[in-house]
Structure 1
């Protein structure tokens, strides 16, 4: 099974997405749903996808689970829930019991938008993560270089939990990269309980001036750090449309992974996502 480990749906006419207000994001400020993605998956040989949180609202998580329940190709949902809520365990229980609840595989929060770089280390947040892991859910780390130290400390604090780093920690590709990002990625990878998504890289580059060759050093670095068993392909569609079509993004990442070996590509396009999110999928 070929899996897109990271994609989104949204509708700005029905909900607010604060991160989408910048002028340069106007091309994607419209509704995207299962009907838009289905032909792209088919055209690119993708069998299934993981639907990932876009806003800090429990209503979105509930909607995504309903979509997953009605959409066979959506085999997992990484939703949002308030980690600081003392009743989080009850919320997660209700989500799991709702239509599509069996497809809830993880929780995510836009940590890189928090003013505090150590937000993950807050006592109430750590208590919330304990509740997430008690439900055997993964936690997606949406962080940049600034927040990587707190992500490292959190992964170390929960050695039996499963973490997934989104977008390879958003390396500053457009600026040529940084040693600080590279060193912190290496330290995070040393925590054996963290997987890394090869996703969102083209949009960290200059949108109109990138190719697989420019992305490859960053893919190579995370592959060296995480190894072939902890890399996950993700399109980051439709955010990725800012930099290229679904096919262009998929083709570039596939070319990068193939340079590292066909087995690296094969695992990143399927089995690693199944392991990270403990997906129970029929062949």
Structure 2
């Protein structure tokens, strides 16, 4: 089973997305839903996807779970929930019991948009993370270099938890290779409970001037850090459309990963996402 570990749906006519207001994002400021993605997945040989939150809204999480219940290719939802809510345990129980609740595999917050680089280390946030871990949900780390030290400390605090680093912590590809990013990635990968999504890399490069060769130093460093069992492919569709097509994004990552062997590519395009998010294999692929 080939899995896209990171994609989004949204409709700016129905909800606000503060991060989408920048003029350069105008071309993706429209509705994207399952009917748009389904033919793209088929054309690119992708069997299933993990739908990831776009805004800080419990209503969006509930909507995404309903979408997952009605959309066979969506095998998991990484939703949003308020980590600072003292009733988070009850909220997670309610989400799990709602339509599509069995597809809830993780929680995420746009940490890199918080003014405090140590937001993850706040006492109320750490209590919320403890609830996520207690519910056996994965936590997606949406951080840049600035917030990565707090992500490292968090992964160490919850060694029994599962964490997935989104977009390889957004290396500044357009500016060149960053030693600080690279060193912090080494430290984060040393936490054996952290996986890393190779997603969103093309949009960190110059949108009109990138290819597999340009991405390779960043993919190679990430692969060296996390190894073959903790790399996950994600398209970051439809954000990826700012820099190129779905096929171009997937093809570039395949080309990079094949340099480390087909087994590395194959695990990143399926099995690793299943393990990180506790997604069972379908019948006929080792499942029951």
TM (normalized to structure 1)?
A: 1.00
**Equivalent in the alignment of 1:269:** 269
1:281: how far off?
3.5
Moved over 3 A (4+): none
- Give secondary structure in 1 for the equivalent of 2:89: helix
1:242: how far off?
0.1
User: For residues 153 and 131 of structure 1, what CA distance do their matches in structure 2 show?
Assistant: 17
**Equivalent in the alignment of 1:260:** 260
| Mapping for residues 45-60 of structure 1, pairs under 5 Å | 45-60=45-60
- Give secondary structure in 2 for the equivalent of 1:207: coil
Does 2:241 align with 1:206?
no
Instruction: Provide structure 1 residue ranges, at least 5 long, that are not aligned to the other structure.
Output: none
1:14: how far off?
0.1
1:220: how far off?
0.3
User: For residues 202 and 253 of structure 2, what CA distance do their matches in structure 1 show?
Assistant: 9
User: For residues 243 and 32 of structure 1, what CA distance do their matches in structure 2 show?
Assistant: 17
Does 2:67 align with 1:41?
no
Check whether the contact 1:75–1:281 (CA below 8 A) recurs between aligned residues. no
Check whether the contact 1:207–1:242 (CA below 8 A) recurs between aligned residues. yes
Deviation string 1:114-149 (CA, Å, 9 cap, x unpaired) is: 000000000000000000011100000000000000
User: For residues 92 and 79 of structure 1, what CA distance do their matches in structure 2 show?
Assistant: 10
Q: CA RMSD in A?
A: 0.4
1:260: how far off?
1.2
**Equivalent in the alignment of 2:105:** 105
| Mapping for residues 9-158 of structure 1, pairs under 5 Å | 9-158=9-158
Deviation string 1:83-132 (CA, Å, 9 cap, x unpaired) is: 00000000000000000000000000000000000000000000000000
User: For residues 228 and 218 of structure 1, what CA distance do their matches in structure 2 show?
Assistant: 15
User: For residues 243 and 261 of structure 2, what CA distance do their matches in structure 1 show?
Assistant: 26
**Equivalent in the alignment of 2:190:** 190
User: For residues 150 and 73 of structure 1, what CA distance do their matches in structure 2 show?
Assistant: 34
Does 2:218 align with 1:218?
yes
User: For residues 119 and 74 of structure 2, what CA distance do their matches in structure 1 show?
Assistant: 30
Instruction: Provide structure 2 residue ranges, at least 5 long, that are not aligned to the other structure.
Output: none
Check whether the contact 1:203–1:243 (CA below 8 A) recurs between aligned residues. yes
User: For residues 152 and 177 of structure 1, what CA distance do their matches in structure 2 show?
Assistant: 21
